[in-house]
Amino acid sequence: MNQWIFLAATLAFSPAVLAQHHGAAHQHDHQSGAHHSTATAQFDKASLNTQVHVEKCWVRLLPGTVPSAAYFTVHNQGQQDTAVIAARSSAHADVMVHETTHKDGMSHMGHTASVAIPAGTAVGFEPGGLHVMLEQATQPLQQGGTIQLELLYADHTKTVTTCELRSPKTQSY
Ligand SMILES: [Cu+2]
């Protein structure tokens, strides 16, 4: 076999190259596309949630195809407990609620099916913890711009929030 072809084939399928595509800190479990289309239908049907308010939403915008993360605070001002069960972005095809956990000095992140927001409380999505992972941007995004982030709740209502696109160095809102 031609050595160069062999090398190219090896690189194309090596796990290291695949991991690099998502960025070293972004190795996470992915769900099938079927979940995304189900979520889209649920968002389209959902009415607006008037009990829950989402504030201080910002995105740590990373270059190229590296996934970005959205952070915000969810205030449940109602009498009923609720939970965030999905998210949708106006500018990304692949959006997932994630939680970063730390164990034995390593950090891992994965999909979280439900984030409880008890009545009368506020839950922070912050660097190093809960976040919404944004992948596959559907349009060019620039620092200083904004996106619309929708959150879907357990009672199948939703909120719509404007999020500011910030530099990768940003640590908090
Ligand atoms: Cu993540």
If you average pLDDT over residues 113-122, what whole number do you get? 97
Measured in Å, residue 110 CA sits from the centre of ligand 1 at 6
Measured in Å, residue 4 CA sits from the centre of ligand 1 at 36
Q: Which of 148, 121, 156, 133 is nearest to 46 (CA)?
A: 156
Output the pLDDT for position 30. Answer: 55
Q: State residue 128 phi and psi, 5-degree precision.
A: 90, 0
The full set of domains in the chain, from first to last, is 30-166 (2.60.40.1890)
Q: Compute the Cα dihedral for 78, 55, 163, 87 and give only its sign.
A: negative
Question: Within the chain, where are the H helices?
Answer: 3-13, 15-22, 33-45
Measured in Å, residue 132 CA sits from the centre of ligand 1 at 7
Measured in Å, residue 156 CA sits from the centre of ligand 1 at 23
Measured in Å, residue 29 CA sits from the centre of ligand 1 at 9
Output the pLDDT for position 39. Answer: 79
Helix-then-strand count for the chain, H and E: 3, 11
Output the pLDDT for position 120. Answer: 98
Output the pLDDT for position 36. Answer: 62
The reported pTM is: 0.80
128 vs 10, residue with greater confidence? 128
Q: 76 and 117 in contact (C-beta within 8 Å)?
A: yes
Output the pLDDT for position 22. Answer: 41
Measured in Å, residue 68 CA sits from the centre of ligand 1 at 8
Output the pLDDT for position 141. Answer: 96
Count other C-beta atoms under 10 Å from residue 84's C-beta: 24
Q: What is the pLDDT of residues 7-50, one digit of tens each?
A: 444 444 433 333 333 444 455 555 544 456 667 889 999 999 99
For residue 28, give the 3-state DSSP assignment: coil
Measured in Å, residue 130 CA sits from the centre of ligand 1 at 8
Output the pLDDT for position 37. Answer: 64
Measured in Å, residue 28 CA sits from the centre of ligand 1 at 7
For residue 13, give the 3-state DSSP assignment: helix
37 vs 107, residue with greater confidence? 107
Measured in Å, residue 50 CA sits from the centre of ligand 1 at 28
Measured in Å, residue 81 CA sits from the centre of ligand 1 at 25
Q: What is the pLDDT of residues 54-101, one digit of tens each?
A: 999 999 999 988 999 999 999 999 999 999 999 999 999 999 999 999
Output the pLDDT for position 15. Answer: 39
